[in-house]
Amino acid sequence: MAARVPGSSPGGPGAGGPQTRQIKVRMPEAVGAGVYANSMMVQHTREEFIIDFAMIVGESGTVVARVVAGPGHVKRIVRALQENLAKYEGSHGRVDTAPEAPFQIGFQPANETRGGE
């Protein structure tokens, strides 16, 4: 997988247009399989956003992935998601927003169980 980042144009110096360079990114097999999440929690500090993706089933759930990024990167993530959702809807039709979950999500220590389980 290759990502374009600011730096140099694909045609080399003097090729014109916005300057970008390609960086090869490795996809570890365990990450490439992906994880399913049906819930998300977001928190932030002045320096970073913490996005926890969770799989909720019944009365409990598990965080399946955590992404930590700076505010500038989060803004680019939001823009990329908006652009891709617009492309998806252009190809497949309008997507309705999922209803709000009828519960609040909170963390409990990993070594604690609920209800004496």
Q: What is the DSSP string of 52-89?
A: EEEEEETTEEEEEEEEEE-HHHHHHHHHHHHHHHHHHH
pLDDT tens digits for range 63-97: 999 999 999 999 999 999 999 999 999 999 999 99
Lowest-pLDDT range of 53-57, 65-69, 111-115: 111-115
Radius of gyration of the chain, Cα coordinates, nearest whole angstrom: 19
* In-domain check, residue 100: no
Residue 6 included in any domain: yes
- The number of distinct structural domains making up the chain is 1
- Residue 15 lies in domain: 1-31
Residue 114: is its pLDDT beyond 80?
Answer: no
In a domain, 15, yes or no: yes
Q: Please check whether residue 14 lies inside any domain of the structure.
A: yes
Backbone angles phi, psi at 79, to 5 degrees: -60, -45
Mean pLDDT, rounded, of the chain: 84
